[in-house]
Structure 1
């Protein structure tokens, strides 16, 4: 589909739905302004015409309270009934030790070109603390209370929220077999069909992860940013049927790829879940935008999923700047409403 046609379609769509999209407001713990998404018994329902609209809980990273209970409320207030869950809320609920290392400071010091002696010492201390914590974490994971993850699943399910994917920090190249097995076991206890991780760029590691996923009867889906290309996942996909894609379609457009709809058509059976955001393309600056304002054909993507009965969920990932006076919860709710209207058009 040509860009001009996409732009015309989006403008027409936006003009029809602008009032609804901007009229979603929150009042206390309930969501108002999107009655078609909320079903009876105060449970959300964000599966529209066969397409599951979800979100990754990373979208709520600006919220002060990151507990299991608070995160559940953010999801409910957004009108979401299925999620990709970041590790934090579930792992803290299960009693995982808290990392004493300020990772932002460590990353910042690591980027200093000509560090002074004090900076070198501070960075060395942080790295030593980080290595010590990694050992402590692996020890905890070896005997993790997986019944707590089952309890977490039940708490969310009782409110109408399904966990379809789990993203703990357990699958990197530095992760031990104990960490990796823990990640799959926790995901299964949460009811997830797959875990997600950044594609490591290491063929041996993706082969290992695919083999370990198969042993747990799980899938592992690889996420990417602007390094995504039409063939970026091919090696991992050939290595194992348990290796899957967690394509980020907004980043894919920002990378300069022009086959947005075609890659979904070609690869749909190997996509476990898709991150959905609206970014400008490479020529236009790659900025993250409010849905309908960028170059990502969000409407056409959702309608393609609907019309072809694709099974993977569309995971809203909020990365555009939150307007003054709003919150991530309100913005995710607007994104959900935008998606819903696209699927009903």
Structure 2
């Protein structure tokens, strides 16, 4: 079989698996044909949407979009920040191609496959609030790539696209202008460079520039970043925060480790109760970064995090 035939065969297999798992075609031999006959997940508790970034499932054995959707449902999650690789593979992105070839594909690809993914997720009871494919939003990305990503995000039902906060202000201005054009928020994520002021320039450039606030990284950064300052930041800028990443990390002075929820210094309980009390409509993404215990897996651990949040928001 030629390499082209192998590629076509693989794409055909992935497509069939995805459609079968979504209930769009039927087969007696596919283990996932009845995957979504179970009750649809609901991880919105007391008005607070607990979701997950699909990066959390990176350690699971299968990576195609149907498998990822199965993991989401098995975790009890009803809304997600969707990473782009599996979606683009399903849509036919050329594999192992250089950036120019990928950019050309993005500039001309049909949105039909993205519509199919939306239907799969809708059928399973899972909404997509954010879409992340940062290499389409990079400094060297073409205008056509940025347009493509925002169009794809909108087709998927997302409110925002997300990426790490660029170092150059001219790039956040550029992305903000595309956000305005497409009415799509651009949520900027930070790691240990997080401060209360780190987003200020980007936020001033466009009403569609926003914050993807990683609460664990904020705490691990140390310095002026404390539990109290994090809660104050959320209150002060809640109208510019489009999503959270939630993980439990130790503070810098305590080593900064990622730990199971409840064992670190991130004020998870206080944040969730603040969202509940103030009725802030900001989804909270479980981002699984602590070591998966022996005998467990990412699906089970995400489900534990969802349960942790539920017990806080719906006590008793």
After superposition, where does 1:33-182 map in structure 2 within 5 Å? Answer: 42-99=39-96, 133-168=98-133, 169-182=135-148
Distance 1:217 1:139 in 2: 24
Deviations 1:153-181 (A, max 9, x none): 01011010000000013111121111111
Alignment match, 1:234? 200
CA contact (8 A) 1:167 1:195 kept: yes
Q: Runs of 4 or more off by more than 3 Å in structure 1?
A: none
Write the deviation string for residues 81-106 of structure 1: whole angstroms up to 9, x where unpaired: 00000001211111111126xxxxxx
Q: What are the Cα deviations for residues 44-75 of structure 1, in whole angstroms up to 9, with x where unaligned?
A: 00000000000000000011211010000000
For 2:162, the equivalent position in structure 1 comes to: 196
TM-score, normalised via structure 2 length: 0.86
Q: Which has the larger radius of gyration?
A: 1
Matched, 1:339 2:292: no
CA distance, structure 1, for counterparts of residue 178 and residue 292 of structure 2: 39
Q: Distance in 2 between matches of 1:41 and 1:211?
A: 43
Contiguous gaps of at least 5 residues in structure 1: 1-27, 30-39, 101-132
What root-mean-square deviation, in Å, do the aligned CA atoms of Structure 1 and Structure 2 show? 1.3
One of 322, 332, 336 as aligned partner of 2:292? 322
Separation in 2, partners of 1:99, 1:261: 43
**Cα distance in 2 between the residues matched to 1:340 and 1:92:** 34
Please list the CA deviations of residues 259-309 of structure 1 after superposition, one character each: whole Å capped at 9, or x if unmatched: 111110001000000000000001000000000000001011100000000
Alignment match, 1:21: none
- Secondary structure class of the residue paired with 2:191: coil
Specify which structure has the bigger relative contact order, considering alpha-carbon pairs within 8 angstroms and separated by 6 or more residues: 1
TM-score scaled by length of structure 1: 0.78
Equivalent residues, number: 276
SS at match of 2:50: strand
Task: Give the 5 Å matches for 1:205-216.
Answer: 205-216=171-182
Q: Is the 8 A contact 1:147 1:189 kept in 2?
A: no
Distance 2:117 2:250 in 1: 37
Q: Which runs of 5+ in 2 are unaligned?
A: 1-30
